[in-house]
């Protein structure tokens, strides 16, 4: 329903007001979910970098770094899971376009003192739409994979700080988040 420029949408029984629907590209003028039309966009090289961390007990990190997780090489399996997830993002996120990825990079780092593993995923394509969701999905699934492989010894692991770090290409050009520790 519309009212003097405002859009009201009922979702899960809650009525939510959006002041300017033009800012939300996945909704039409009536507030209905739509897949964005990218037909008139130019093909450009597009890159997105996302990151996240999983915090854990010190013993869990020691096992991961030593390749002693009960289910095997946690970081090796998480790397493959991240790559696979980027390729299947459109199957998981309803309004994402299927994208032909040209490259996916997955890097892990860790901090023994703070007891975390970080994952950074870089997704690239040449196409009409960006790869931010692919990079974010890759990070999320990598961290979930680490959780799955180590949950028998540490059910309290926490995935944190999952976010987009950078995107390049397309009409909006280059965007970079403020880096923080």
**Catalytic residue numbers?**
148
**Euclidean distance between CA atoms 163 and 175, whole angstroms:** 13
Q: Judging by beta carbons within 10 Å of its beta carbon (0-12, 13-18, 19+), is residue 54 exposed, middle or buried?
A: buried
Question: Cα torsion for 21, 92, 43, 169, to the nearest 10°?
Answer: 70
89 — phi, psi (to 5°)?
A: -55, -45
- Report the sign of the C-alpha dihedral through residues 135, 136, 139, 141, in that order: negative
Counting runs of H as helices and runs of E as strands, what totals does the chain give?
4, 8
From the list 36, 29, 32, the residue with the least C-alpha distance to 5 is: 29
How is residue 37 annotated by DSSP?
Answer: -
Evaluate whether 157 touches 56 at the Cβ level (below 8 Å): yes
Q: At what angle do helices 58-65 and 132-150 cross, to 10 degrees?
A: 100
């Amino acid at each position: 329903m519309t009212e003097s420029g405002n859009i009201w949408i009922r979702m899960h029984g809650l009525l939510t007001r959006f002041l300017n629907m033009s800012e939300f590209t996945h909704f039409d003028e009536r507030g209905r979910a739509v897949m964005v039309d990218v037909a008139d966009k130019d093909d450009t090289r597009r890159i997105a970098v996302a990151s996240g961390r999983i915090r854990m007990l010190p013993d869990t990190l020691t096992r991961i770094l030593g390749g002693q997780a009960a289910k095997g090489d946690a970081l090796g399996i998480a790397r493959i899971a991240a790559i696979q997830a980027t390729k299947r993002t459109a199957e998981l996120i309803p309004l994402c376009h299927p994208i032909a990825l040209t490259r996916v990079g997955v890097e892990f780092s860790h901090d023994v003192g703070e007891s975390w593993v970080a994952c950074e995923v870089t997704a690239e394509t040449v196409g009409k739409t960006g790869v931010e969701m692919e990079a974010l999905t890759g990070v999320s699934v990598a961290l979930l994979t680490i959780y799955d492989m180590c949950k028998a010894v540490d059910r309290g692991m926490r995935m944190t700080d999952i976010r987009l770090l950078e995107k390049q290409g397309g009409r909006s050009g280059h965007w970079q988040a403020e880096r923080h520790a």
